[in-house]
C-alpha cells in the first residue's frame, strides 16, 4: 500500500518535503512524473529515465485500454513487467482523455460512452470499469474517474460535473478490491472558488489516501490556475499528498510547490523538446534559431546531463535542422534532466529552510513564455485534441 510521510514544511511558505512509500520503492516529494501515456516515455528507454533520477512515471488507462488492451498487459504480468520499469507507476483514469474528445463521447451518471480516436469503435467506461482496468495494470497509485469541464463552461455545467465526480469517486472506492494500490480522488470545480472549496471539502471528508487537483491548466490564464490551486489546497488534509495534474513548466512547478503541491506530471517537457525547445535557467531556448548554429558550448554550461556533457548547441542545431531522430532523444534527455535538477534544488531548499529565497531568485531569472502566446498555443493544442487527432 502506498503511504505518505510529511517531513518538513517551509515556515515562510506552504512548500513541503515528504516521501511516498510504494511497493516499488520510496519517492521523495515534491516530485515530477515523466509522462509515458502508452507505456513509454517518448524516445527514451526505462534505463535512461532511471538514469535521469526519475523513479516514478505516469501511464494512462485510456490509451492502454485502446492499445494494446488491458488483457494483453495483465497476461504479461502487469504494466511494470510489460514496459520493463522497476520504479513506481501512477495511472491516470483516462477521464481527461475521454472528455477532451468532445465530439466523440456522451456522458451520463452511469459513465461515459465514447468512440475511439484511433478507429472509431464504440466503448464504455464507468467508475467500476476504470478501477478494474487499473487493478489489472497494477500501478502503485491509481486515479478515480472524474468529469473535467472546460474552463469556460457555465457555472451550472461545472457544478454538475463536480457533483458527478463526487459520486464517481464514491463508486470507485466501493469498487476497489486491491488494497496494495493507493486510490486518489480528483477535485474539480472549474475556475469557480466556491465550487473548488466544496469539492475539496467533500472529497476530503471521504478520507482518500491522496488528492489530485484536476481541471486546471486547460486554457485559463496562469494567474487563475494558481488562484484555484490556493483555493483547493486550503481545504485538503495536510497529511495527504496533493497532486497537481498536467502542470510541467518549470516556473509553474515552483509556484505550485510554494502553494503546497507535492506531485506533478505533464507531457510538456518532452513535447517541447521534440519541437526544439530546451530548458535553461533563464527560460526556454529554441535550438533551431540561427544563433546556435556555431555555438561550441552546450546549451547549459553547468548541466551534467548526457546531452550537455557530450554535445554542443551547434550539433543539436544541426540535428534538428536535418530532422535526425537523435535530436529528439538528446533534447528529451536534457529537458527531463533539467526538471530533475530543478526538483532536487526545490527539495534541498525546503529542507534547509531557504525555499522562499530560492523561489524569488529562480523566478527573477527565468523568462516565461509570453502569456498570450502560451494561451494561443494551448487553445490550438486543445482544439486538435477535441477533434480526436
The 10s digit of each residue's pLDDT in 95-154 is 888 777 777 889 999 999 999 989 999 999 999 999 999 999 999 999 999 999 998 999
Q: How many CB atoms lie within 10 A of CB 197?
A: 16
Instruction: Give residue 378's pLDDT.
Output: 60
Regarding whether 232 and 164 lie in a shared domain, the answer is yes
Q: Would the pLDDT of 186 be above 80?
A: yes
Cα–Cα nearest to 56, from 182, 237, 186:
182
pLDDT in tens, 199-236: 999 999 999 999 999 999 999 999 999 999 999 999 99
Give the C-alpha separation, 5 to 276, whole Å. 38
The catalytic position among 146, 252, 262, 265 is: 265
Regarding whether 95 and 215 lie in a shared domain, the answer is yes
Regarding whether 283 and 174 lie in a shared domain, the answer is no
Cα–Cα nearest to 261, from 279, 280, 283, 246:
246
Regarding whether 279 and 244 lie in a shared domain, the answer is no
* Mean pLDDT for the stretch of residues 86-91: 98
Active site residue 92: yes
Give the C-alpha separation, 193 to 225, whole Å. 11
pLDDT band at 386 (very low <50, low <70, confident <90, very high): very low
Regarding whether 278 and 262 lie in a shared domain, the answer is no
Instruction: Give residue 344's pLDDT.
Output: 98
Regarding whether 302 and 344 lie in a shared domain, the answer is yes
Please report whether residue 372 resides in a domain. no
Regarding whether 286 and 206 lie in a shared domain, the answer is no
pLDDT in tens, 337-384: 999 999 999 999 999 999 999 999 999 999 998 776 656 666 665 555
Please report whether residue 325 resides in a domain. yes
Please report whether residue 62 resides in a domain. yes
Regarding whether 70 and 12 lie in a shared domain, the answer is yes
Please identify, among 243, 266, 289, the residue that sits at the C-terminal boundary of a domain: 266
Q: How many CB atoms lie within 10 A of CB 368?
A: 14
If one counts the domains in the chain, the total is 2
Active site residue 153: no
Percent of the residues in the chain that have a pLDDT greater than 70, as a whole number = 95
* Mean pLDDT for the stretch of residues 249-263: 98
Q: How many CB atoms lie within 10 A of CB 170?
A: 15
The catalytic position among 92, 140, 146, 252 is: 92
Please report whether residue 17 resides in a domain. yes
Please report whether residue 254 resides in a domain. yes
Regarding whether 282 and 261 lie in a shared domain, the answer is no
Q: How many CB atoms lie within 10 A of CB 223?
A: 10
Regarding whether 134 and 232 lie in a shared domain, the answer is yes
- The number of C-alpha atoms within 13 Å of 69 and in the hemisphere containing its C-beta is 3
Regarding whether 303 and 321 lie in a shared domain, the answer is yes
CATH number at residue 54: 3.20.20.105
Question: Which residues are 263's β-sheet partners?
Answer: 31, 243
Regarding whether 300 and 152 lie in a shared domain, the answer is no
Percent of the residues in the chain that have a pLDDT greater than 90, as a whole number = 89
Please report whether residue 385 resides in a domain. no
Domain that holds residue 345: 273-353
Q: Would the pLDDT of 385 be above 60?
A: no
Amino acid at each position: 500500500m502506498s503511504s505518505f510521510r510529511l517531513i518538513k514544511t517551509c515556515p515562510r511558505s506552504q512548500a513541503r518535503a515528504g516521501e511516498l512509500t510504494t511497493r516499488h520503492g520510496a519517492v521523495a516529494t515534491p516530485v515530477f512524473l515523466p509522462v509515458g501515456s502508452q507505456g513509454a516515455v517518448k524516445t527514451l528507454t526505462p534505463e535512461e529515465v532511471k538514469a535521469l533520477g526519475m523513479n516514478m512515471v505516469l501511464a494512462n488507462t485510456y490509451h492502454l485500454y485502446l492499445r494494446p488492451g488491458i488483457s494483453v498487459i495483465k497476461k504479461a504480468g502487469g504494466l511494470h513487467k510489460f514496459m520493463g520499469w522497476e520504479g513506481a507507476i501512477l495511472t491516470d483514469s483516462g477521464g481527461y482523455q475521454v472528455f477532451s474528445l468532445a465530439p466523440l463521447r456522451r456522458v451520463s451518471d452511469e459513465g461515459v460512452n465514447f468512440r475511439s480516436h484511433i478507429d472509431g469503435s464504440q466503448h464504455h467506461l464507468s467508475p467500476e470499469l476504470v478501477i478494474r482496468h487499473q487493478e489489472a495494470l497494477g500501478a502503485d497509485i491509481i486515479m478515480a474517474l472524474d468529469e473535467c469541464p472546460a474552463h469556460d463552461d457555465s457555472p451550472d455545467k461545472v457544478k454538475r460535473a463536480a457533483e458527478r465526480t463526487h459520486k464517481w469517486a464514491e463508486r470507485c472506492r466501493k469498487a476497489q478490491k486491491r488494497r496494495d494500490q493507493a486510490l486518489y480522488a480528483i477535485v474539480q470545480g472549474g475556475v469557480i472558488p466556491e465550487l473548488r472549496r466544496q469539492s475539496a471539502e467533500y472529497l476530503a471528508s471521504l478520507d482518500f489516501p491522496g488528492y489530485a487537483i484536476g481541471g486546471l491548466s486547460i486554457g485559463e490564464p496562469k494567474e487563475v490556475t494558481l488562484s484555484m490551486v490556493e483555493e483547493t489546497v486550503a481545504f485538503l488534509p495536510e497529511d495527504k499528498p496533493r497532486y497537481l495534474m498536467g502542470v510541467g513548466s518549470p516556473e509553474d512547478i515552483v509556484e505550485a510547490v510554494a502553494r503546497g503541491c507535492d506531485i506533478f506530471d505533464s507531457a510538456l517537457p518532452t513535447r517541447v523538446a521534440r519541437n526544439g525547445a530546451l530548458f535553461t535557467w533563464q527560460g526556454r531556448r529554441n535550438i533551431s534559431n540561427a544563433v546556435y548554429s556555431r555555438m561550441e558550448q552546450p546549451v547549459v554550461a553547468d548541466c551534467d546531463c548526457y546531452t550537455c556533457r557530450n554535445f554542443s548547441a551547434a550539433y543539436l542545431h544541426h540535428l534538428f535542422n536535418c530532422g535526425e531522430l537523435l535530436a529528439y532523444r538528446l533534447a528529451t534527455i536534457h529537458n527531463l534532466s533539467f526538471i530533475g535538477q530543478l526538483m532536487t534544488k526545490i527539495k534541498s531548499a525546503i529542507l534547509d529552510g531557504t525555499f522562499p529565497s530560492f523561489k524569488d531568485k529562480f523566478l527573477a531569472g527565468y523568462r516565461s513564455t509570453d502569456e498570450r502566446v502560451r494561451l494561443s498555443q494551448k487553445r490550438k493544442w486543445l482544439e486538435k485534441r477535441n477533434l480526436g487527432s
